[in-house]
Amino acid sequence: SLCGGGAPSLSYQELKDLKKTNILHIDVRERWEIERFGRIPASINIPLGELVEALQMDPTDFKEQYNQKMPSKSDPVVFSCLAGTRSKQALSFATSLGFS
């Protein structure tokens, strides 16, 4: 299940279309889930428990740890997880940190 800012949930096709644009896709599943079930192409894995800290990192540290440019507060970001619960939490964490 996928969560985006304006649209609380997206279909797989909508996500595929969004990925053609400049969007950051953050998968908030645990690392063992990624290992067991596979990585979503062009996504970065930041487990939900690390997200608040990650979104407040120094951009250089973020790039070093996640091998991806840190999103700015206005960049389009999509969160995903297995069932939709964690991605909704991720969305509210990001919003509370000032991400639009």
Which domains does the chain possess?
12-97 (3.40.250.10)
Q: How high is the pLDDT of residue 27?
A: 96
Per-10-residue mean pLDDT, the chain, length 100: 57 80 91 94 94 96 94 92 90 93
Give pLDDT, residue 7.
47
Note the pLDDT of residue 19.
77
Residue with token string 């000032």: 98
| Listed residue (28, 27, 68) closest to 49, CA to CA | 28
Q: Which residues are catalytic?
A: 81
The phi and psi torsions of 2 (rounded to 5 degrees) equal -125, 145
CA atoms within 13 A on the CB side of 35: 4
CA distances, 10 to each of 16, 98, 100 (Å): 10, 22, 17
* The pLDDT of residue 8: 61
Q: Which two tokens stand for residue 20?
A: 């053609």
Residues 6 or more apart from 90 whose CB is under 8 A from it? 3, 26, 28, 48, 51, 79, 81
The predicted pLDDT at position 48 comes to 97
